[in-house]
């Protein structure tokens, strides 16, 4: 049986807004296709986290307080993470996880938290804690060569700029900055986004895209996931897109 290994970074600290649900959904959708998943965790202070053989690195969102606490630990993993990224491991990062992989994050108290510097973007939060991008959001992204509408919920004070290859075009909501036209950051093996929901719950094709990428990379054969019962997801998307894209 095929097996995918997911490295869940700081699950106890980066787990705001049900973000850990993304790992649950990836595991669920793999299980339905007869793919086993193993979720390994890296917690603050872990010294012997094994990055080899990892297929997906996952980081969720966290509060400012938690991001500060883990910044040093994350910097200590810089070489491991860069190597995994260069080897084509898939990186899925939400909100705080997205911010921490950039150059830096300046929080709402003006405190600068250094990022891992894997990507060029950087994030500055308004010092007015009330100024946040909050609400339902729809982003149009491209998966392979197909356009796909991604539905989620954004809630961030941070404004992310210097994004060269955004995840998608904003159809409703704010995106990387207030009233931005673009959202998130992407590469062939990277999805970084502000979308909670959790992200994969209402966007099964994005989940399957990640699974296909990982399986193809692992086996060397093009992988096509078989269709599973997604009636609930299809109905949910229909209802929400109708509601959110109504002008």
Q: What is the dihedral of CA 60, 61, 65, 66, to 10 degrees?
A: 0
**Shortest distance, position 107 Cβ to other proteins, whole Å:** 12
Residue 146 three-state SS:
strand
Find, among 18, 86, 80, 16, the residue nearest to 52 by Cα: 80
**Shortest distance, position 145 Cβ to other proteins, whole Å:** 27
Q: Please, are residues 146 and 105 in contact by the beta-carbon 8 Å criterion? A: no
Taking the least distance from each CB to other proteins, the nearer of 120 and 131 is 131
Which residues make up the interface to other proteins (CB under 8 A)?
12, 15-21, 24-25, 28, 63-65, 69, 129, 134-136, 153, 155, 196-198, 201-202, 229, 231-233, 235-236, 239-240
Taking the least distance from each CB to other proteins, the nearer of 182 and 240 is 240
Is 156 in the active site? no
The whole-angstrom separation of Cα 23 and Cα 44 is 19
Taking the least distance from each CB to other proteins, the nearer of 65 and 144 is 65
**Shortest distance, position 30 Cβ to other proteins, whole Å:** 12
Q: Please, are residues 98 and 194 in contact by the beta-carbon 8 Å criterion? A: yes
Please pick, among 42, 133, 196, 214, the residue that the annotation labels catalytic: 196
CA distances from 135 to 10, 196, 205 (A): 25, 10, 22
**Shortest distance, position 21 Cβ to other proteins, whole Å:** 3
Please pick, among 95, 133, 156, 214, the residue that the annotation labels catalytic: 95
Check whether the bond before 198 is cis (ω within 30° of 0).
Answer: yes
Is 95 in the active site? yes
Looking at the DSSP bridge assignments, the partners of residue 152 are: 137
Taking the least distance from each CB to other proteins, the nearer of 136 and 165 is 136
Q: Enumerate the active-site residues.
A: 95, 196
């Amino acid at each position: 049986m095929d097996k995918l290994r997911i490295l869940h970074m700081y699950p106890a600290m980066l787990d705001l807004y049900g973000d850990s649900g993304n790992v649950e959904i990836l595991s669920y959708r793999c299980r339905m296709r007869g793919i086993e998943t193993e979720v390994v965790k890296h917690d603050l202070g872990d010294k012997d986290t094994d990055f080899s053989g990892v297929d997906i690195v996952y980081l969720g969102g966290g509060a400012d307080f938690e991001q500060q606490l883990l910044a040093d630990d994350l910097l200590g993993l810089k070489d491991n993470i860069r190597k995994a990224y260069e080897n084509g491991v898939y990186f899925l990062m939400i909100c705080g996880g997205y911010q921490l992989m950039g150059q830096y994050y300046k929080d709402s108290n003006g405190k600068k938290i250094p990022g891992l510097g894997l990507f060029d973007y950087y994030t500055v939060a308004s010092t007015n804690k009330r100024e946040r991008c909050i609400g339902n959001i729809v982003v149009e992204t491209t998966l392979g060569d197909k356009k796909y509408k991604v539905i989620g919920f954004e809630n961030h004070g941070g404004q992310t700029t210097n994004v060269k290859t955004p995840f998608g075009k904003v159809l409703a909501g704010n995106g990387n900055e207030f009233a931005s036209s673009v959202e998130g950051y992407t590469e062939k093996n990277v999805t970084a986004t502000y979308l909670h929901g959790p992200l994969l719950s209402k966007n099964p094709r994005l989940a399957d895209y990640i699974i296909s990428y990982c399986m193809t990379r692992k086996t060397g054969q093009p992988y096509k996931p078989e269709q599973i019962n997604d009636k609930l997801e299809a109905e949910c998307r229909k209802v929400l897109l109708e509601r959110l894209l109504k002008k």
